[in-house]
Amino acid sequence: MKNDGSTNAPANADAPATTVEPTESAWMRFWFTPMPTTGLHALRVLSGLLFLAWLLSFLGHQREFFSLTGWFGKEAYVEVQRQGNLAPAPIGWSMLYLADESVEMFQAMYWGSLVVLALFTIGVATRITGVLTWVIVVSFLANPAINYDGDYMLGILAFYMALVHLYVGQWSRDLSIPARILGSRGDMLLANRLFPDDAPPAPSFAANFVLRLMQIHFVIIMLTSGLHKLQIPEWWSGVAFWIPLHPTFKTTLESLERERPGAAFTLFYLSLAQYLVLAWQIGLPMFAWRAGWWRVALVGGAIVGWVGGFYIYQLPLFGPFMVIMALSYLTPEEWKAVMERLRPRASETAEAQAVASEPVAVGSGAWKQGVKK
């Protein structure tokens, strides 16, 4: 072979050239591609609204549920710790313990927490309020008397929201010292209207990296849940949904007799529904990152899971968590399309303004009809 700088021609010169992207390049693009923060802001607003709705649901009985003078008091905590029966973290600590048995301090903490959650939702000082939001969420999850396993999903969501807002913009933007400590004012709702002279924020490396962590964590949760269901006989026999729909203390012989004529129909569709749930959870890693119609399966499945979880299991929190996590897979282009659909079209807005500003003749027939009516 001559060393003349030439290369051997391929065996089939007419074959189209194909390039295979190196695995390392795909890996780097997956984790370290900067992305716009439009989707991140939407996820923050949805998460903040979920946290607010959760904490406001205890309004009127917050002291009974959460304080050391409530239904699960200080003596109960001491006894549970003595027996070593505490549930997994973050049970072991809570900022509410600082109030001790002071009702006034506890009430100040509760209302202050609502203020912090509201500020984080609208995007005020997100680096500070994001961390405080995580502290608030895990603190109010620390009462073992009222918790359900699904409630801990709120802690996961709050952790990622706090983490991403700590780092977003730190490398890709030329921020002032206050913005590096508190967060950019561009995070606020309607920032483009409040600060029209500000340049649009640069794409963020941290937003992409943390959202990837969220996505993988959600896949692990769903896949583990699906595989765990395969170890439960009720999920194999097709009665996993029938049992919670017929609680022991509410189901009677008379109610079963009323359902008897349509029992085969009911069991068939309940079995079909639970097998679809298993397919969605176990198959999630195969379509979660696929675009196109797979997004309908991803987000639509999460919405159906929200409705089903609330109706069958009376779980108000796990469903919204699923939907928010599913929305985290949307690409910047998909978020842009969603925002454009939600935003009123410029032509429609201009037409409405023109109609509103058009003078109406006093003697017109329309005016006369309106007077008659």
Q: Where are the domains of the chain?
A: 36-203, 210-247+261-344
Among the residue ranges 91-105, 152-166, 204-218, the one predicted with the least confidence is: 91-105
Q: Give residue 370's pLDDT.
A: 40
- Give the pLDDT score at 7: 44
At residue 119, the pLDDT reads 95
Structure tokens of 350? 């201009």
For residue 223, what are its two tokens? 């896949």
- 362 compared with 61, residue with greater pLDDT: 61
In this predicted model, which residue has the larger pLDDT, 351 or 34? 34
Mean pLDDT of the chain: 82
What's the pLDDT band for 152 if we cut at 50, 70, 90?
confident
Higher pLDDT among residues 355 and 313, named by residue:
313
Write down the pLDDT at residue 2: 43
Q: Which of 31-45, 65-79, 181-195, 338-352 has the lowest mean pLDDT?
A: 338-352
Using H for helix, E for strand and C for coil, what is the string for the chain?
CCCCCCCCCCCCCCCCCCCCCCHHHHHHHHHHCCECCHHHHHHHHHHHHHHHHHHHCCCCCHHHHHCCCCCCCHHHHHHHHHHCCCCCCCCCCCHHHHHCCCHHHHHHHHHHHHHHHHHHHHCCCHHHHHHHHHHHHHHHCCCCCCCCHHHHHHHHHHHHHHHHHHHCCCCCCCCCHHHHHHCCHHHCCCHHHHCCCCCCCCCEHHHHHHHHHHHHHHHHHHHHHHHHHCCCHHHHHCCCCHHHHCCCCCCCHHHHHHHHHHHHHHHHHHHHHHHHHHHHHHHHHHHCCCCCCHHHHHHHHHHHHHHHHHHHHCCCCHHHHHHHHHHCCCCHHHHHHHHHHHCCCHHHHHHHHHHHHCCCCCCCHHHHHHHHC
Confidence of residue 353 (pLDDT cuts 50, 70, 90): low
Cβ(295)–Cβ(262) below 8 Å:
no
pLDDT band at 84 (very low <50, low <70, confident <90, very high): low
Rank 33-37, 187-191, 215-219 by mean pLDDT and report only the highest: 215-219
* Residue 170 scores a pLDDT above 90: no
pLDDT in the model for residue 23? 65
- CA–CA separation, 347 vs 234, rounded Å? 56
Report in angstroms the alpha-carbon separations of 70 from 62, 63, 77, 102: 9, 6, 11, 11
pLDDT band at 213 (very low <50, low <70, confident <90, very high): very high
Token pair for residue 237?
A: 């026999």
What is each CA distance from 60 to 142, 222, 281, in whole angstroms?
A: 19, 35, 37
Please give the average per-residue pLDDT across 219-247, as a whole number: 91
Give the pLDDT mean for 252-258: 90
